[in-house]
């Protein structure tokens, strides 16, 4: 696994040990950032990487110009891997790792008044990722013109709306799918 583009292009990333994570493939990560960058400049934005695993999505965003990223991950091994990857890139000061459940993290981040232009979410494929979006308060943390990108199983059809969020686009890549979401009041053209 490696950084695909930007100032750290080609830099290798460590994956968490064991089989409990499913790193986003280079192909899917490239597709994700192509979708995002066609709608949103990554220059100087804040990024939230939920179910962060190795931190590859947030670190890729920093490589492409994001000013900082918050990584949320429950696993201690994954949190250590994210910290190691950030340190190896020289970006420890640009990265904040939150160890705990996504629901707890969303509440804490909202209490701090934080908002993000890009939120990525790569939960386990066997989880109900849409309930996290529905009940977790993701929309509260998304800037008005911001984007939420959810990686999920291509065998699961995403809803068209969840609260104030609208599914703008879904693309499948083998067993993986990417769904791009924005706030209904700031509907973007495809």
Residue 127: the pLDDT is 82
Reading the block at residue 3, the tokens are 């950084």
Question: Is residue 7 assigned to a domain?
Answer: no
- From CA 1, how far away is CA 154, in angstroms rounded? 22
Whether pTM > 0.85 for this model: the answer is yes
| Residues in the chain, total | 190
Question: Is residue 159 assigned to a domain?
Answer: yes
pLDDT band at 187 (very low <50, low <70, confident <90, very high): very low
C-alpha triplet 146, 5, 3: angle, nearest 5°: 100
**Whether pLDDT at 30 is above 50:** yes
Question: Is residue 83 assigned to a domain?
Answer: yes
Question: Is residue 168 assigned to a domain?
Answer: yes
Give the residue numbers spanning the domain of 154.
Answer: 26-186
DSSP 12: B
C-alpha to C-alpha distances, 88 to 3, 13, 51, 154, nearest whole angstrom: 12, 9, 21, 33
CATH number at residue 101: 3.40.50.150
Integer-rounded Cα Rg, in Å, for the chain is 15
Residues 31-43: tens digit of each pLDDT: 999 999 999 999 9
Question: Is residue 6 assigned to a domain?
Answer: no
Residues 123-179: tens digit of each pLDDT: 988 888 888 888 778 999 999 999 999 999 999 899 999 989 999 999 999 999 999
Question: Is residue 10 assigned to a domain?
Answer: no
- Count of domains for the chain: 1
Residue 189: the pLDDT is 40
């Amino acid at each position: 696994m490696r950084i695909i583009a930007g100032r750290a292009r080609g830099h290798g990333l460590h994956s968490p040990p064991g089989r409990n994570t499913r790193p986003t493939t280079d192909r899917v990560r490239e597709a994700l950032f192509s979708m995002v960058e066609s709608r949103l400049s990554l220059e100087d934005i804040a990024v939230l990487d939920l179910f962060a695993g190795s931190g590859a999505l947030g670190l890729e965003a920093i490589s492409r110009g994001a000013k900082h990223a918050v990584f949320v991950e429950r696993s201690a091994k994954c949190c250590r891997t994210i910290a190691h990857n950030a340190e190896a890139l020289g970006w420890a000061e640009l990265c904040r790792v939150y160890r705990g459940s996504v629901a707890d993290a969303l509440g804490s981040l909202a209490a701090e008044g934080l908002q993000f232009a890009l939120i990525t979410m790569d939960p386990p494929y066997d989880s109900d990722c849409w309930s996290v979006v529905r009940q977790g308060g993701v929309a509260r943390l998304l800037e008005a013109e911001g984007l939420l990108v959810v990686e999920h199983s291509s065998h699961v059809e995403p809803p068209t709306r969840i609260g104030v969020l609208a599914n703008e686009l879904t693309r499948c890549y083998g067993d993986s799918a990417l769904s791009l979401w924005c706030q209904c009041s700031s509907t973007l053209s495809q």
